[in-house]
């Protein structure tokens, strides 16, 4: 259990019969609130764009704001967004300004966009777009993608041509839903397919939806159709549905961290054959197989809630060691969007955890999804020892993180990563554990159901799927190894 920010969740819906889609948008985003706590937004088309934006989690369905929202947004096509701020500024004023969906218009063209991802060639795009559109009005990457699309649209190049140019000229991760000024719903994904995006429909194939995760379709009782393929554009309009492969992928690079941490356990990722929780159970089994001495040193298996829960069960199944839900998460301790510092959020995380007496005098295997900076793990281990744990051995499902992420996860420098500076033995000493056991990369990959060359493993190997990211990482690593100071998202000012 930790606080890591990831770049959002999106949802879009289109009703061929002209009915309002706001309820589908609302529930689609509710199911994906784990992907963004900072802000949320809705936009529908009904002879023009109507929108609503707010900070924090979505309000409950019976809240007056929700009722007002359902009355206000009556369009038959719509998009929505929940956001964690991984790019841009994260104070309250900028969070409001950067809330999506984002609307741009110029030269008679107009579009609205919501996206999940992160752009690498930020500096280049800012210079290019500033010469045509003037200063940017937000600090978020979505404005860059929106205006890149608008470049083509205002020159009457058409949506397909404009999206294709975006796919070829923007480096990074982007899973996008949008609306045209005619009320068409469109969705596309970068040519590497780094972030998830799928689509489906109701039983009668009259209402269509796009979602970052399949749970957004499930909650609306929609049938899952397929993932949106890397480099593919889908469009829904009064004339029907079109599907185009605009850019042929040279390779795939789906984010490996989605499996360990970000995705909801009941989601199916990337067109896979089993839900994420089954994959996480396999991670736990792998950890049990990889440590041949585990039955001689462990009395009880527990999880760090909640992303460690399924792996802990898998570890228990593999080893036969007693499993208990001894660490509990208090769901009603919440953080707010404007509490933005790592220290503040870590304090809230610790207030959410309560440890039962079952670990007293026991040798504990604590299963966690990952160790990024190590601060949260250190505090949790201290709390377990105070509760009477005799030994604390950490079992980590995600292999050791040694490099930053450039594609939408809040890990921007080598120096902040404990795994970039220390091996497992040293990490155990620093965080106060008796040992730390990481799942191997090979077993992790095998359990996802994907091939190694279909995953982005940049944060584990320092080998990235896009050229500028690799170039920047190499420069950052050289600075880090010399002891020179790094800055987050250095490529923004490069």
Active site residues: 8
Distances (CA, A) of 397 to 51, 260, 404: 40, 7, 18
Residues 6+ apart with CB under 8 A from 394: 366, 368, 371, 377, 381, 428, 431, 433, 435, 436, 437
DSSP for 10-21, written as a single string: EEEEEETT----
CA distance 74 to 22: 7
Could you tell me how many helices (H) and strands (E) the chain has, helices first?
Answer: 18, 21
Q: Are 438 and 396 in contact (CB under 8 A)?
A: yes
Q: Identify the bridge partners of residue 116 per DSSP, sorted by sequence position.
A: 175
Q: Tell me 89's DSSP state.
A: -
Partnered with residue 317 across adjacent β-strands are none
The answer to whether 236 and 184 are in contact (CB under 8 A) is yes
Distance from C-alpha of 253 to C-alpha of 194, rounded to nearest angstrom: 5
Residue 309 preceded by cis peptide, ω within 30? no
Interstrand relation of 363-368 and 391-396 (parallel, antiparallel or unpaired): parallel
Distances (CA, A) of 194 to 118, 257, 269, 439: 10, 11, 11, 22
What are the start-end ranges of the E strands in 149-291? 172-180, 185-189, 198-201, 207-211, 223-227, 232-237, 240-245, 254-255
Identify the CA nearest to 185 among candidates 232, 237, 122. 237
Dihedral over alpha carbons 378, 340, 306, 140 (to 10 degrees): -130
Own/partner contacts of 452-456, CB < 8 Å, gap of 24 or more, are 453/251, 453/252, 454/251, 454/252, 454/253, 454/254, 455/252, 455/253, 455/254, 455/255, 455/256, 456/192, 456/194, 456/253, 456/254, 456/255, 456/256, 456/407
Phi and psi angles of residue 348, each rounded to the nearest 5 degrees, phi first: -65, -40
Q: Which two tokens stand for residue 94?
A: 């900028």
- 356's CB contacts (< 8 A; 6+ apart) are 324, 325, 326, 327, 328, 387
**Judging by beta carbons within 10 Å of its beta carbon (0-12, 13-18, 19+), is residue 71 exposed, middle or buried?**
exposed
Q: Count other C-beta atoms under 10 Å from residue 493's C-beta.
A: 9
């Amino acid at each position: 259990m930790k606080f890591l920010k990831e770049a959002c969740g999106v949802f879009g819906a289109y009703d061929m019969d002209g009915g309002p889609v706001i309820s589908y948008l609302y529930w689609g985003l509710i199911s994906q609130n784990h992907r963004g706590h900072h802000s949320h937004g809705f936009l529908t088309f009904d002879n023009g764009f109507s929108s609503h934006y707010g900070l924090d989690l979505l309000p409950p369905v019976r809240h007056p704001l929700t009722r007002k929202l359902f009355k206000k947004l009556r369009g038959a096509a719509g998009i929505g967004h929940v956001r964690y701020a991984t790019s841009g500024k994260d104070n309250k004023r900028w969070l409001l300004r950067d809330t999506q969906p984002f609307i741009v218009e110029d030269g008679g063209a107009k579009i609205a966009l919501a996206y999940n991802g992160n752009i690498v060639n930020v500096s280049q795009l800012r210079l290019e777009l500033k010469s045509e559109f003037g200063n940017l009005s937000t600090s978020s990457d979505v404005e860059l993608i929106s205006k890149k699309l608008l470049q083509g649209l205002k020159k009457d190049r058409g949506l397909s041509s404009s999206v294709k140019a975006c796919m070829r000229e923007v480096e990074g991760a982007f899973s996008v839903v949008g609306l045209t000024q005619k009320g068409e719903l469109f969705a596309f994904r970068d040519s590497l397919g780094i972030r998830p995006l799928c689509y489906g429909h109701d039983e009668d194939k009259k209402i269509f939806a796009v979602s970052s995760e399949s749970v957004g379709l499930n909650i609306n009782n929609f049938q899952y159709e397929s993932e949106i393929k890397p480099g593919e554009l889908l469009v829904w309009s009064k004339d029907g549905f079109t599907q185009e492969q605009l850019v042929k992928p040279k390779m795939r690079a789906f984010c490996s961290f989605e499996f360990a941490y970000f995705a909801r356990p009941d989601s199916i990722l990337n067109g896979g054959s089993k839900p994420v929780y089954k994959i996480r159970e396999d991670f736990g089994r792998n950890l049990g197989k990889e440590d041949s001495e585990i039955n001689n040193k462990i009395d009880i298996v527990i999880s760090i809630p909640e992303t460690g829960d399924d792996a802990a069960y898998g570890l228990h199944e593999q080893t036969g060691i007693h499993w208990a839900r001894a660490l509990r998460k208090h769901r009603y301790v919440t953080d707010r969007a404007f509490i933005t510092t790592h220290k503040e959020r870590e304090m809230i995380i610790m207030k959410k955890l309560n440890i039962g007496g079952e670990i007293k005098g026991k040798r504990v295997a604590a299963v966690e999804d990952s160790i990024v900076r190590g601060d949260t793990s250190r505090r949790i281990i201290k709390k377990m020892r105070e509760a009477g744990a005799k030994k604390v051995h950490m079992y980590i499902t995600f292999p050791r993180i040694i490099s930053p992420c450039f594609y939408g996860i809040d890990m921007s420098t080598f120096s902040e990563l404990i795994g970039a500076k220390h091996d497992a033995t040293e990490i155990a000493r620093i965080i106060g554990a008796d040992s730390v056991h990481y799942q191997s990369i090979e077993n992790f990959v095998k359990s996802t159901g994907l091939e190694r060359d279909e995953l982005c493993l940049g944060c584990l190997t320092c080998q990235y799927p896009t050229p500028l990211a690799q170039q920047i990482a190499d420069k950052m690593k050289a600075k880090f190894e010399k002891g020179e100071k790094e800055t987050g998202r250095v490529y923004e000012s490069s």
